[in-house]
Every structure is written in C-alpha cells, then in structure tokens.
Amino acid sequence: MNTTHYPSAHIFQSPETHTLSVVVDNEPGVLARVVGLFSGRGYNIESLTVSETEHEKHLSRITIVTTGTPMVIEQIKNQLDRLVPVHRVVDLTVSGKVLARELALIKVKGKGEARVEALRLGDAFRARVVDATTESFVFEITGKSDKIDEFVGLMGPLGLVEYSRTGVAAISRGPEAS
C-alpha cells in the first residue's frame, strides 16, 4: 500500500539519488530543523555531513545525499529553501559536476596470512595505516562512497572489527562557487 493519502501520480516515477549542498546560518537548532524536516515529511537521508565553513560569517555547509522521485527531490529542495536560516540549496547532481568524497576509519584484527592480505589490499586501495598493534590495524581511507563500501566488504572476512565513516562531503567542479 502506498503511504500517501491517495494514489498519486508521482509514485510511478522512479527514484533518483541526489547530493544537495545546503548553506545555512550556523545558529543553534539549524541542523535539527533540517533533520526534522526530513523525518517529519518522510524523506530519506542516505548521508548527512555538517560543519562550519565560514567562521566569520557564521555559515555552515550541510551535505545531504537523498533519494526520491524527481517530484519529491524538487519538494525537498523547496522545503529546505523555505527554512528561514537557509541561505541557498544547491543540487550538485543536477549541475552534473559533483565531486563527492568520504573518509572512513576501519579497524581490522588478524594474524598471519589474513593480516598480510589486509595490508596488501589497503595498499591497493590507497588506504593509510594510522594505528597498528601486533594483531590489528586501523586504516584511513578516502574516496567515493562505493569505493569505501567495497573496501569494507573486502575486509569483512579478513578480521573487520568496526569502522566509522564521515558521510559524504561534496562540492562542484570548476572555478565557480556552487
């Protein structure tokens, strides 16, 4: 059963993934507003990162990866834009020049052949070892989300203990500000 009130036309559109960059006033509660909007209206958040980017101007940049039909994505952008502390909403996916990266810290425990294999794979993925004991490593890896997915998947049988990801930070290519 569909979750909207009435069978709606836009549920027949297929969902797309979009990366949105939202420039906001860095004031208390602004993240709660953005997150509350997503949960309150039933939108998806696949990844969300937020950090102050321009200290003097009190600006923060929130990067959100979300999925939805084109009509829902348009709604999300309009709803975000409507929030009072939001300066602008840029859909990096629509501009077609999105540069998106994520960082992960991955703890792997193991000895013998598995340990060597993990190190070798770490090399191949350009992961750095940032902590080591005789029976464990912590890798730091940067890249697109699917690269990190893949690396985490490979570490699974080699003694993966736990990992932490930053979520996606994104910006547009080229000289212009997005």
Partner 1 sequence: MSRQMTGAEMVIAALQDQGVEVLFGYPGGSVLPIYDEIFKQEKIKHVLVRHEQGAVHAAEGYARSTGKVGAVLVTSGPGATNAVTGLTDALLDSIPLVCITGQVPTHLIGNDAFQECDTVGITRPCTKHNWLVKRIEDLPRILHEAFHVAKSGRPGPVVIDIPKDVQFATGTYHGPKNIQHKTYRPKVKGDMDAIRQAVQMLGKAHRPIFYTGGGVINSGPHASQLLRELVRTTGYPITSTLMGLGAYPGNDAQFLGMLGMHGTLEANMAMHESDLIICVGARFDDRITGRLDAFAPHAKKIHIDIDPSSINKIIKVDCPIVGDVGHVLEDMIRVWKSTQPDVDKKAIRKWWEKIDHWRARKCLAYRNSDEIIKPQYALQRLQEAVKGKDVYFTTEVGQHQMWAAQFLTFDEPNRWMTSGGLGTMGYGIPAAVGVQMAHPKSLVIDIAGEASVMMTMQEISTAVQYRLPIKIFILNNHYMGMVRQWQELLHGGRYSESYSHALPDFVKLADAMGGVGIRCEKPSELDAKIAEMIAVDRPVIFDCVVDPAENCFPMIPSGKAHNEMLFGETVEDIGDVIDEKGKMLV
Q: Measured from the CB of residue 58, what is the shortest distance to partner 1 in angstroms?
A: 9
Q: Measured from the CB of residue 101, what is the shortest distance to partner 1 in angstroms?
A: 28
Which residues contact partner 1 (rule: CB under 8 A)?
1, 5-10, 25, 28-29, 32-33, 36, 40, 71, 74-75, 78-79, 81-87
Q: Measured from the CB of residue 117, what is the shortest distance to partner 1 in angstroms?
A: 49
Phi and psi of 169, rounded to 5°? -105, 135
Q: Measured from the CB of residue 152, what is the shortest distance to partner 1 in angstroms?
A: 35
Distance, CA of 71 to CA of 150 (rounded, Å): 31
Q: Which of 26, 15, 27, 28 is nearest to 76 (CA)?
A: 15
Distance, CA of 144 to CA of 163 (rounded, Å): 16
Nearest to partner 1 of 86, 155 (CB atom): 86
Nearest to partner 1 of 58, 128 (CB atom): 58
Nearest to partner 1 of 78, 164 (CB atom): 78
Tell me if 178 sits within 8 A of 97, measured CB to CB.
no
Nearest to partner 1 of 59, 121 (CB atom): 59
Nearest to partner 1 of 48, 86 (CB atom): 86
Q: Measured from the CB of residue 62, what is the shortest distance to partner 1 in angstroms?
A: 14
